[in-house]
Structure 1
């Protein structure tokens, strides 16, 4: 009787460890480079995108920016950056790298703080990064994730 109890306990322990190991692998990020972008430009002619790189299951780099139809990045548009900085106290040249660094540091989009003056962009980045991790990086699928743009002209 005692022998059966020991065998049952050992079998249950092995089963529990197997289940935990299997669950952990489903949530691990696969190494590679991943990109998410909106399917069209917003009302101002910019299309947001997020790129992350994963090595050894950890995010090692993250980039967030916007591109226009001419291929120009919002973070490099001096006129746009000056106007936004004057109005809100920050600019894409400042908040884009700050958001990327925060994701690398925290490894979890929900723990990334919003940047004051760039609330909409902060929210978009966090949403894109989460979907990119869940739908692509956990599966090792390096095709670009297209997300529906909600800020469109009607």
Structure 2
């Protein structure tokens, strides 16, 4: 069994994931506000409203504070000459090995939230799927993209 990959993603990844989770949680918050506003008109019992708000607050804590921290702790990667080793997951930790010979192209992606924090995601595409290494410092992501690109070309030339 391989040892755990040594490289971590940027610590700012937690902030990015928290902002994204906050944006996704806006709709449930608005819905809960609407239900609260119309509680009397819709004859909703108080205890149902309290349970709903308790569930929403628990979900906010889990999705905005807990999961990004655990996700960051689990995310690791390492690039070797023959393969890319990626480890991710929250409850179930997935360890993926992508052979360099299978790499078709490598991209960097940077949305508005990642850009604000100077981060980028490296996407490694094979014929079957695309693997992502999220939230790397921009310069690190560009260097990693170029390194994987060179290693993948070397493998193709040797065959």
Structure whose residues are more often strand by fraction: 2
Instruction: Give the TM-score band, short-chain normalised.
Output: under 0.3
TM-score by length of 2: 0.27
TM-score by length of 1: 0.28
Q: Which has the higher contact order (CA 8 A, sep 6+)?
A: 1
